[in-house]
Amino acid sequence: MTQDTQTIPQGSDQSNIDNLPEGNADSKPGVDGNEGFRFYVDRSMKSYQRLPMLEVVCDRFTRILSTTLRNVTSENVDIELRGITSLRFGDYINSIPLPALVSIFKVVEWDNLGLITPNGQFIYSMVDILFGGRKQGNPIRFDGKPFTNIELNVFKYICDIILNDLTTSFEPLNPSTFVFERIETNPRFASIARPGDPVILIELYIKMEERDGKVEILIPYATLEPIRELLLQVILGEKFGKDNNWENHIQNEMYNAHVELEAILATKDATLLEIAKMKPGQTIIFDKHPEDEVTLACEKIDLMSCKLGGVEEKIAVSVEKAIHRKLIEIME
């Protein structure tokens, strides 16, 4: 009897243990040896060849591109480096939604190719900005509509800017020339590598005042092979593109820089004929009252709203509130 009473709990414990794999298999169908193998392969792909110097180059690239786009668009442009990740080329191509624009570029010294892929929102925003659209947020996108010739030409123009700034960014590390090859509207025709080949994906988020968009730059590991040893270096002491003393000096000099402020009392639309008929002594009536607020601007960028007044027989303005997004964030 003693042996029977001892074997019963052992049997029940063993049956519970035996049922555990079955319960897991039922709750998660398809988790087998192949799935586990796939998991570890994908995991190894994500950590494949971390390239420290590439991160430094990309940081420099975002700062250079921000300045370039700011000069081109006359807008306040902020670029955020969302990530530098590794994945398979086939997985990336299959993830691109249609309709798409994919630019293929070549690095002359490395004798290999890469891709630039924007989302539709970025293309529509750039068209809106370059052709004088109103500042009313992101433009309306028509899903499924193919891109027009104007949008294709704008994308090529932006690609030339990006490739020129990539050339500048790689200059301190290794002189490299990035040149435009062609544009494809079907990702399947942009096969610059085999589906299983590892690639680097650089994700950029671009904010332009009230508009935004994303741009992705894909570079196969095979393309980076000629400078792989340089990209694997970790520079100690002297920091490439990250000199804190230099940054502090630039910051102090910027605070002491002189800028020209404009107090815009009023504006008025007029035809060329009306301007041609203007004579000395003519009165021009504006749709504003003396007590209305005036706008304080710098380089055609509205900064603050002010009240017009005077101090010691001189015209003066009293700042009421900030109207530029960056100033509002700083004051808050």
Q: What is the pLDDT of residues 316-331, one digit of tens each?
A: 888 888 888 888 877 7
Amino acid at 316: A
Strands 211-220 and 314-322: unpaired
What is the tens place of the pLDDT at every residue in 9-59? 444 444 444 444 444 444 444 445 566 655 555 554 444 567 888 999 999
Q: How high is the pLDDT of residue 18? A: 47
Is the pTM of the predicted complex or chain greater than 0.75? no
Does the domain at 46-241 match CATH 3.40.1550.10? Answer given as yes
Q: How high is the pLDDT of residue 236? A: 39
So where are the chain's domains? Answer: 46-241, 257-277+284-329
DSSP secondary structure string, 68-89? Answer: HHHHHH-S-EEEEEEEEEEEEH
Question: How high does pLDDT run on average in the chain?
Answer: 81
Q: CA angle, 135 as apex, 285 and 148 as ends, to 5°? A: 125
Q: CA angle, 240 as apex, 113 and 71 as ends, to 5°? A: 65
CA 10 to chain centre: 62
Q: How high is the pLDDT of residue 214? A: 94
Q: How high is the pLDDT of residue 137? A: 58
Positions in the chain short of pLDDT 70 = 1-49, 133-144, 235-243, 332
Question: 10 Å Cβ neighbour count for 325?
Answer: 12
Does the domain at 257-277+284-329 match CATH 2.30.330.10? Answer given as yes
Cα separations in angstroms, 78 against 55, 118, 143: 18, 16, 26
86-102: b or e for each residue (b if 16 or more CB lie within 10 Å)? Answer: bbbbeebbeebeeebbb
Q: How high is the pLDDT of residue 162? A: 96
Q: How high is the pLDDT of residue 180? A: 95
DSSP label of 226: G
Topology match between the domains 46-241 and 257-277+284-329:
no
Q: How high is the pLDDT of residue 141? A: 58
